[in-house]
Structure 1
Amino acid sequence: MSMQTVSLVQGSPEWHAHRAHHFNASDAPAMMGCSSYKSRSQLIKELATGLTGEVDPATQRRFDDGHRFEALARPLAEEIISEPLSPCVGVNGMWSASFDGLTFMHDAAFEHKTLNNTLREVMLEGCTGADLPLMYQVQMEHQAMVSGCKRILFMTSEWGPGGDLIEMRYCWYEPDAELRAQIIAGWEQLEKDVAAYDPAAERTAPAVAAPIESLPAVVVQVQGALTVTGNLDAFGDALRQFIGRMPTKPATDQDFADLEAGSKALKKVEDALDAAEDGALAQISPVEQMRRIKADLKNLARTTRLVWDKLVSAEKDRLRTALVTGAQTQLDQHIQALNQRLGANWLPRIAGGFAETIKGLKSLDSMRDKVAVALTNAKHDANQQAYRLEVNREHLVQEDGDWIALFADFSTVGAKAEEDFQALASLRIGSHKQAEAARLDKERERIRAEEAARLAREAAAKAQQDAEQERLRIQQQAQQEQAEIAKAQQAGTLAAPVAQDLAGLVQDKAVEGVAGIDAQEAIAAAQTSAAADDGQTMTLGQLNARMEGIGLGKISAATLEHHGIPFTKERAAVQITSGNARRLMLLLSMGYRKLADELQAVAA
């Protein structure tokens, strides 16, 4: 919302009516409890009743001088700002402000005050608006809030009767977001206090001590001549002589003993003199009666005074305590309500510091004003903290889930500024995601390793099972082949040597765990070989020639001996029958078959 200007003459009925319906910049210091001219309670009364105090002549003269000084200083301000300045009244919603001068674009404003000693002390060379008393800062912050200006020229000056400049000082004030938030919260609370205003409870005047009844003057007269007799003169001479005999600078034990004894004697002299005085006065009954009455009255006045002093002190302390504890209770309740809204006890209990706020104050009204402002500011701070907690909590709810579990310390870090918290959240969430990704990779690797180990175990078990099944199959096959070989031998269709060769080969292959021979094929080949044996002989050279011709290499007599093949020698030539030659070829072929199976098993 932007500011709207209002054409009003300052001091006119329309101007006063406008002020009665808006929160004005000139009243902002009183609302914040920092005004030197009006208390917060007075402002509440004025806004609630519409009644304002009369302006006395001295105050009116001060106002008139202020307006005159302002008009004289405005050209100087225009030179500093380098733009024309227009006095005006601006409105922004419920907020209003009177400007001593405002630029056309409302980007700079001018505020003038009459120079005084307080401003002289703070407006030194190089000062800024932050160095000014709070009451001036509050007024200008309210003006900036209404107009939206970026800076305000604060000038203070003093002029002579003829318009001559006596002294002038100035500085720039720039808006303060935190102070503005306090002002907004302060006006909200003041509006509630105005609505709750009770005229019957309002004091019409500051507390002033009631007139004290004048007591009659104390008069005591002694009439008539008195005759005093006795031996005071002789006693005095004896006393002086006694004192003169005592050592003034004791140096020995005797001197110290004499002085101690003499001191005790002098105490008795004091008591005797008092007793003699009392006895003499008591003999004069009117004087004695006067003394007793005087003592009684003095004691009455003293004890009553002490009682009243204690009563005043105790009651003031009680009221101060009630004021401070009441404000703290309201603040505690406000924080409790905020935590209920947040859904968690993230806001800690805040000590309002109300006792320090009223320290040194005498008036209860001034204490109430200070505590009210301090309570408003404390509530505002709590509201701001709750707002940051809400915004930062919402930031943790993202598309990939709610990350609040990473923030066990959210009550502390959640109160950070949004940018700072978002940076922290990004760091924590990113670190968590990296750690979670590493954990998942490790878990997947563990599962993969376990699966690989399981598959290896299953493969090993299956291989063992297959090997066992193959072993049993080979054994069964060997048993069947041996049975067939034995059956062929019993039937006379297979010669014993050949049967033994075949049975031995079958047994060897069964023990070695490789596939057996085709028993039927071997038996048939052996039977065919036996049937074709015509008893003819050939030399080993002839057999080797035929084997080399088909690429089978050569054999020796040792080969024949190894396989149990009978042979003869004639003229150094090894001779074997054709049947044994065929038997040898059969054994060799079965040996080659066995070797081929072994080589295949090794390659597998």
Structure 2
Amino acid sequence: MQVSLKQNSPEWLEYRKSKFNASEAGDVMGVGFNKPYRLAEIKYADAQTFQNEAMRLGHEYEPAIREYLKAKFHLDLLPVVWCSDDDERFSASLDGYDLMENAFCEIKFSDKEFAYLKEHGRPSDKYFFQIQHQYYVTGAKRCIFAVGRIDEDFELEIECIEVARDEKAIKELIKAWNKFEAEYKPSGALDDEWLEISGKLSELSAQSKAIEREINELKERAIAKAGGVEIKAYGLTIFKTERKPSYDYKAFCEHSGAKIPDEYIKAGSVSWSVRVAS
């Protein structure tokens, strides 16, 4: 359903805080400008968002690109805000929508995205998921994706394609949004210290995983280079480890029906842990 809000107005900005917005779809899928924990700070803790140069130019050139699309595809495209009829958590602010044709457009202004579109004939992943989010929210039948840039003659150059609806991608997106809400939406009161701790832990956890992957890759290369021979050189030691057979007592008890006497059961304990969302 269409929402009577003007894009970029204070009311529109307030409305977006409580919604899953199409422009955030790339972030929640892990391919956008913001990591999920940063998106959580923006949505749930009123963290400040920043407008980069591409976004500023996008707003500046959007009307001209929209007029180009209207003439090229014979569409009556108008900026609108939509909320999903199926799930009111989902919202999309469309750069242009034609009610009669049930078609919309998504407009970008970026040298990098322009080159990607020319080379691959499709939007990059962050914008692909944004478009699929818009398809889900609107139920539209057609999407025109357009990217503008200023060429060497200082003229506006536009590249555009049609992007089809992808049901598999939409299901993945909905699943990712549900996971994001479950992991990041606060269940209690927040303060500045909590945000600092959570943000730093998320950042360090991501760095740690990347470092661990690189370490494991280097270890595998070293083992392969050793060629099955134990070696010690330049601080690296390649050695073989043999493990003795072990017993799966739990599986044995389940298979045989055996029951462990109470005197052999260790008492339980309580501890606290921290799980960092990926």
TM-score, structure 1 length as denominator? 0.31
- Matches of 1:106 and 1:42, distance apart in 2: 37
- Matches of 2:111 and 2:200, distance apart in 1: 27
Structure ranking higher on relative contact order (CA contacts 8 Å, 6+ apart): 2
- Does the aligned pair in 1 maintain the 2:117–2:123 contact within 8 Å? yes
Aligned AA (1:150): K
Seen in structure 2, the aligned counterparts of structure 1 residues 15 and 29 have a Cα distance that, compared at 3 Å, is: same
2:6 is equivalent to residue 6 of structure 1: no
2:31 is equivalent to residue 34 of structure 1: yes
Q: Where does 1:101-120 land on structure 2 (aligned, <5 Å)?
A: 101-105=96-100, 107-120=102-115
Aligned AA (2:70): E
Who is 1:25 aligned against? 22
2:12 is equivalent to residue 15 of structure 1: yes
Q: Residues 370-413 of structure 1, C-alpha deviation per residue, up to 9 Å, x if partnerless? A: xx3xxxxxxxxxxxxxxxxxxxxxxxxxxxxxxxxxxxxxxxxx
Deviation at 1:95, TM superposition (A): 0.7
- Matches of 2:167 and 2:12, distance apart in 1: 29
Seen in structure 2, the aligned counterparts of structure 1 residues 174 and 48 have a Cα distance that, compared at 3 Å, is: same
- Does the aligned pair in 2 maintain the 1:154–1:171 contact within 8 Å? yes
- Does the aligned pair in 2 maintain the 1:6–1:91 contact within 8 Å? yes
Greater share of residues in strand: 2
- Does the aligned pair in 2 maintain the 1:123–1:170 contact within 8 Å? no
Percent identity of paired positions between Structure 1 and Structure 2: 23
Q: Residues 334-368 of structure 1, C-alpha deviation per residue, up to 9 Å, x if partnerless? A: xxxxxxxxxxxxxxxxxxxxxxxxxxxxxxxxxx7
Who is 2:196 aligned against? 203
What's the RMSD between the two structures over aligned residues? 3.0
Who is 1:146 aligned against? 137
Q: Where does 1:166-185 land on structure 2 (aligned, <5 Å)?
A: 166-185=156-175
Who is 1:47 aligned against? 43
Q: Where does 1:184-195 land on structure 2 (aligned, <5 Å)?
A: 184-195=174-185
- Matches of 1:196 and 1:206, distance apart in 2: 17
- Matches of 2:68 and 2:210, distance apart in 1: 54
Seen in structure 2, the aligned counterparts of structure 1 residues 153 and 193 have a Cα distance that, compared at 3 Å, is: same
Deviation at 1:171, TM superposition (A): 0.9
Which of 70, 85, 89 is the equivalent residue of 1:94? 89
Deviation at 1:106, TM superposition (A): 5.6
- Does the aligned pair in 2 maintain the 1:154–1:172 contact within 8 Å? yes
Seen in structure 2, the aligned counterparts of structure 1 residues 49 and 117 have a Cα distance that, compared at 3 Å, is: closer
Deviation at 1:196, TM superposition (A): 4.3
TM-score, structure 2 length as denominator? 0.64
Q: List alignment gaps of at least 5 residues for structure 1.
A: 208-314, 322-367, 373-604
Q: Where does 1:146-165 land on structure 2 (aligned, <5 Å)?
A: 146-159=137-150, 165=155
Aligned AA (1:167): E
Q: Residues 567-588 of structure 1, C-alpha deviation per residue, up to 9 Å, x if partnerless? A: xxxxxxxxxxxxxxxxxxxxxx
Seen in structure 2, the aligned counterparts of structure 1 residues 86 and 122 have a Cα distance that, compared at 3 Å, is: closer
Aligned with 1:100: secondary structure?
strand
Aligned with 1:203: secondary structure?
helix
Aligned with 2:172: secondary structure?
helix
Q: Where does 1:456-535 land on structure 2 (aligned, <5 Å)?
A: none
Q: Where does 1:428-439 land on structure 2 (aligned, <5 Å)?
A: none
- Matches of 1:63 and 1:316, distance apart in 2: 31
- Does the aligned pair in 1 maintain the 2:146–2:158 contact within 8 Å? yes
Q: List alignment gaps of at least 5 residues for structure 2.
A: 202-206, 214-275
How many residue pairs align between the two structures?
203
- Does the aligned pair in 1 maintain the 2:98–2:104 contact within 8 Å? yes
Q: Residues 89-136 of structure 1, C-alpha deviation per residue, up to 9 Å, x if partnerless? A: 111121100101011236211111113134314424xx54xx321101
Seen in structure 2, the aligned counterparts of structure 1 residues 78 and 193 have a Cα distance that, compared at 3 Å, is: same
Deviation at 1:176, TM superposition (A): 0.6
- Matches of 1:318 and 1:11, distance apart in 2: 37
- Matches of 2:34 and 2:169, distance apart in 1: 20
Greater share of residues in helix: 1
- Matches of 1:318 and 1:136, distance apart in 2: 25
Q: Where does 1:183-262 land on structure 2 (aligned, <5 Å)?
A: 183-196=173-186, 200-203=193-196
- The structure with the largest alpha-carbon Rg is 1
